[in-house]
Structure 1
Amino acid sequence: MYSMINIPYRIILVVLTLFYIDYTSSKKLFDMYGKGAWAHSTEIKFQCFSGDSLIRLSNGENKQIAYLKSGDEILTIEQSKIVSTQMIMMLDKQISKEALFYKLRTESGHEISLTDFHLIPIISSNGNQTYLAAKHIQIGDFLYVLFNDKLQYSPVINITIEIKKGYYAPLTMKGTLLVNDVLASCFAYAKNHHLAQLYMFPFRLYYKLTRFFYLNDSFNNYKSEGLHWIIAIMFDFARYFRPETLFS
C-alpha cells in the first residue's frame, strides 16, 4: 500500500528534477552562480565520508553516519552560527566497498576522512569562506570545527591517505553538516558547492512534500545501497552536457 501511494511522488520528483536541470543549465544561470556541479567519472559514484564518521545531532548526541535516517535533526554552521538542519537522504551508500580517503587532522585534535573530490569549507587568506576538494587541502588551511560546543577555526596539521571500507553521502536541507565536529559540504566532485546546493532544490521540495503527507523514508534510505538512481541521472546529464563543471 505504501509503495503504491509513493509512486506519484516519485513521478513528481523525476519531473521536477528534469525540469529544474533544463532550467538551471542555461548560460545565464551559470554566469550568475559560477561553474560547478556533479561527478565526472567513467564509474559513476559519489562516495563521501568514511563509515566510521560520527554526525552531531541537534540534541548534542553523536550518531554513526550509517544509521542516519530521513528527518534526523543535524547540526551545521551557517553564517558563522550553529544551526539545525534535517537529513533528507543518502546520495550514495556503500557498506562493504573500499575507497581512498584523505584524513585531515587539525590542531584542535579533530579528524575527518573524506574521498578525494569531496568538498570542505576553509577560511581563505582574505578571511572569506571557500570550498576545496579534500585532495586540495594543504597544511595550514583553517577548517571550521565545533570545540566545547562553540565554533572555532583550527589549522590542518596533518594529512594522511588511507583505504577504508564503507562510505556514505548524506544530503541535508542546508547542504552541509558536522562530521566528527568538522564542518563539511554534502557534495563531492562539484567544483562549486553553492551551485550543487541549487541543483538539489527538487530534492528539498520533494522531501518537504512527502513529509507534509507523513511519508517516511520516501527515498528508500534503509533498503537501497549504491548511488541513488535519480542522482545517477543527474551525473550523466552533467557528464555529457556540462563536463567543464566537474572534477575529473
Structure 2
Amino acid sequence: MCFCFPSSTTVVTKQGVKRLDEIRPGDFILTLNKHQQQKWTKFYTWGHREKDLSADFLKITVVGGSEICISENHLLFVVDKENEHAKVAKMAGQLVIGDKLYHISSTRSVTMRSIVSIIPVQLSGAYAPFTMSGTFLGNNFLVACYASVNNFKLAHAVLAPLRFWTKSTVKKDAERPEGIHGYNLALMKMRESLPTSWQTMV
C-alpha cells in the first residue's frame, strides 16, 4: 500500500509555509511548470489522508542536506540522464544514489540536487494532496500527486473527471472523511481487474 507523504512534509502556500496536516482544499501551493518556473497550483482534494497512521517511507537526502520522506510507490521528478533539460517521473523506490531531484533553494532559485542517501523510516501521518497541475513542491522538492503508477501523464489524465467535478461544484471538501478518496478506490479496483501484464504498464 502507498502512504504518500508524512504529516511533517511542508509546502509553500500563499499564506506562507505550512505542513500537509495544516492545508485545506482551496489553498494555493507552490509548484514548477514545464519550464521549471515557479507557479501556484490549487489544492482541490485529498487522494489519501490518515493523520494518525504510522507508515513506512523512504528518507531521501540530497547534496546540501535537504531531505524528503516519501512512500516508495509515489512519483517524483528527476533530471533525465539523457537530456539534462528534461525531467522524468519515477517512483521513489526506483531512485538510486546520484539521481538528481528538482529543488527550490532558500533564495527560491531552482537547483538540481544529487541524491546522497536513501534510507527507510517510519513516520506518522499519510497525506496525498491532489492539485490541479498534478504536482507540488514538498519540502521544496518537485513531486507528483500520484502513486502506484509509472506514467505521470496517464495518471493526471484519468484524474481529469475529478478535477472537472471539483471545479464545477461549490461543495467544500475540507471535511471529507479520512482514508483513500472514493474516486481513487474505484480506479484501484479497475486496475486490479486488468491482466497482470497490463497492470505493470499503468
**1:241 Cα deviation after fit:** 2.5
Distance 2:159 2:3 in 1: 17
Q: Compared with structure 1, are the counterparts of its residues 246 and 56 closer, same or farther at alpha carbon in structure 2 (3 Å cutoff)?
A: farther
Corresponding residue SS for 1:186: strand
Select the structure that is richer in strand: 2
Q: 1:52 aligns with which of 1, 5, 8?
A: 8
Q: State the partner residue of 2:194.
A: 241
Q: What does residue 182 of structure 2 align with?
A: 229
* Residue 78, structure 1, aligned to residue 33, structure 2: yes
CA shift for structure 1 position 106: 1.0
TM-score (norm 2): 0.91
Secondary structure at the residue paired with 2:149? coil
Aligned: 1:98 with 2:66: no
Q: Which has the higher contact order (CA 8 A, sep 6+)?
A: 1
3-state secondary structure, aligned to 1:102: strand
Q: How does 1:119-158 map to 2 (within 5 A)?
A: 119-126=75-82, 127=84, 128-147=86-105, 148-158=107-117
Q: Could you tell me how far apart the structure 1 residues matched to 2:79 and 2:195 are?
A: 28
Structure 1-normalised TM-score? Answer: 0.75
CA positional deviation for 1:84: 0.8
CA distance in 2, matches of 1:82, 1:170: 18
Q: Percent identity?
A: 24
Residue identity in the other structure for 1:159: I
Structure 1 runs not aligned, ≥5 long: 1-44
Instruction: Answer yes or no: is the 8 Å Cα contact 1:116–1:135 preserved in 2.
Output: yes
- Partners of 1:137 and 1:74 lie apart in 2 by 25
Contact 2:31 2:137 survives alignment (8 Å): yes
**RMSD of aligned Cα (Å):** 1.7
Over 3 Å counting, the alpha-carbon distance change for 1:98 and 1:238 in structure 2 is: same
Q: Which runs of 4+ in 1 moved over 2 A?
A: 241-248
Matches within 5 A, 1:1-248: 45-59=1-15, 61-79=16-34, 80-126=36-82, 127=84, 128-147=86-105, 148-210=107-169, 215-217=170-172, 219=173, 221-241=174-194, 243=196, 244-246=198-200
Number of residue-to-residue matches in the alignment: 197
Contact kept? 1:46, 1:227, Cα under 8 Å = no
